[in-house]
Structure 1
Amino acid sequence: MTRGFSDISPTFFDAEAEPVALAPGPVPSYIRDHRKRLRARFMQGGAAAMPDYELLELVLFAALPRQDVKPLAHKLLEIFGDFNAVLAAPLPRLLALAGVGEAVACHLKVTEAAAARMMRARVLNRPVLTGWAALLDYCHTAMAHRSIEQFRVLYLDRKNVLIADEEQARGTVDHVPVYPREVVKRALELDASAFILVHNHPSGDPTPSDADIAMTLKVGDAAQALGLVLHDHLIIGREREVSFRASGWL
């Protein structure tokens, strides 16, 4: 049975509940010294000075305070690909892995949520069109590594300030249902003057499909009929994004 956060047991924050934790007693010196060295390197050089597996180790330290987490970090990267993909991995897939208990899964998802919230704070209630790079960073952080398609709408006021970022729908690995009427209806409810469509391609390739293009044109027509502006439609891939405006589809 798939577990969610509501099903977590009373041992949720008990690192000793992990299946491969060390027996009670002093933490071995090689683990303690290794952690001290990694923390020092991070404090001196930041994340840029560390490969993915070491940065992941730092995240895992708090979840497994008595365990050598290097093998688990390598295992997670081998399965999911890179640091960002590990953080964005679906909770059921994480919990299904040997060595990944509830404490580990929690720390990974909290780290993901913290990163997304920080990036969102850089764009919410600020002019979007003059902070385009920050907007793209936020969209990649929030969506690039999702395993299913997610459709979001960024609603803007008359000064192109982002006033709402809302998920409209989730779909499958290659499809998400979008209803133009609901998009423009929500814009009117928020007293928005413009909006930007954003969705991800779990395949990693942001090239729009014919259905993507057709849907965008329908939303654009619905917006125009009500005096709203569709500024852009962004498709987020693993390494890059596609802008409908820059590509000439809008």
Structure 2
Amino acid sequence: MECVEPHKGKGHRERLRKKFLASGLSGFHDYEVIELLLTLATPRKDCKDAAKASLKRFKTLQGVLEASPAALCEVPGIGPKNLLGIKLIKAVADRYLEKRLIHKDPLNNSGELFDYLYHGIREKSRECFTVLFLDAKNRVLATEILFEGTLTASSVYPREVILAALNHHAAALIFAHNHPSGDPDPSPEDISITRQLIFACRAIGITVHEHLIIGDNRYFSFADQGYIARMNREFDIQNKES
């Protein structure tokens, strides 16, 4: 059920908006950010209590933004109409970070790459496997979440990755997935599927530059740790012997 209490502070909503326009989110508490978003689709009603209740339920601002519409509607004062601001700002932020990468070389824009991947998949409660499709100059053509798994693992199928790469006319790929636990260290399954993907891609002339595992404010890089180079050498040796 949406906010139904009378407006508790005359001019409060307008003060919030003026404060944001004057100095951005500097000085805003997280509940005030949520409150401001709720006011976008809640005419003439106070949303402070709903904003605070949502933070209590989902713990962090990120948790509120990542919550499903159904879960948000369980918070007193939030309903199908006024959750629009919350879901819209998350979608716009994701789109913005994605577009910043398009036609850029992510290998030379690692900060923007991490920003996009971190904010796009870190807070998801299930593992999500994302692929960045690159052209021959390593510029991003597109990004796509190809697989979503359980709380502990995702099922990644090399054949579907190859088909998606061919559909995008990609010359190279970057893989990334999140660990909901927050620990980015790779599991044996992560290492195994990375090898399978590299071998499958190399077989049709597609390069794999990187596989990142996103955790809490940190990540594991298969390239930086030498896995990508070693797996490429294994592919070369195997093909020389065959």
Amino acid at match of 1:201: H
CA distance in 2, matches of 1:105, 1:237: 28
Percent identity reads: 38
- The structure 2 residue matched to 1:184, chosen from 139, 162, 166, is 162
Q: Give the superposition deviation at 1:19.
A: 4.3
Matched residues in 2 for 1:62 and 1:87: separation? Answer: 15
1:164 and 2:142 aligned: yes
1:57: Cα distance to partner? 1.3
Note the alpha carbon deviations across 1:109-156, whole angstroms, 9 max, x for none: 111111111111101122222222111111112111111111111110
Match of 1:92 in 2: 70
Q: In the alignment, which of 60, 64, 67 is matched to residue 42 of structure 2?
A: 64
Structure 2 vs 1, CA of residues 114 and 191 (structure 1 numbering), >3 Å: closer, same or farther?
A: same
The farther-off stretch of 58-67 and 209-218 is 58-67
Distance 1:86 1:19, change over 3 A: closer
> Structure 2 length as normaliser, TM-score?
0.87
SS at match of 2:144: strand
Deviations 1:190-227 (A, max 9, x none): 22111001111222222221111111111111122222
The residue that corresponds to 1:12 in the other structure is: none
Secondary structure of the residue aligned to 2:141 is strand
Alpha-carbon distance in 1 for matches of 2:225, 2:138: 21
Q: CA offset at residue 239 of structure 1? A: 2.2
Take 2:18 and 2:39, find their aligned partners in 1: how far apart are those partners?
A: 14
Contact 1:21 1:64 (C-alpha < 8 Å) held by counterparts: no
* C-alpha separation in 2, matches of 1:19 and 1:105: 9
What is the aligned partner in structure 1 of residue 5 from structure 2?
A: 22
State the distance in 2 between where 1:76 and 1:242 align.
Answer: 32
Tell whether the 8 Å contact from 2:53 to 2:76 is kept in structure 1 after alignment. Answer: no
Unaligned runs of 5+ in 2: 229-242
Q: Which moved more, 1:65-74 or 1:206-215?
A: 65-74
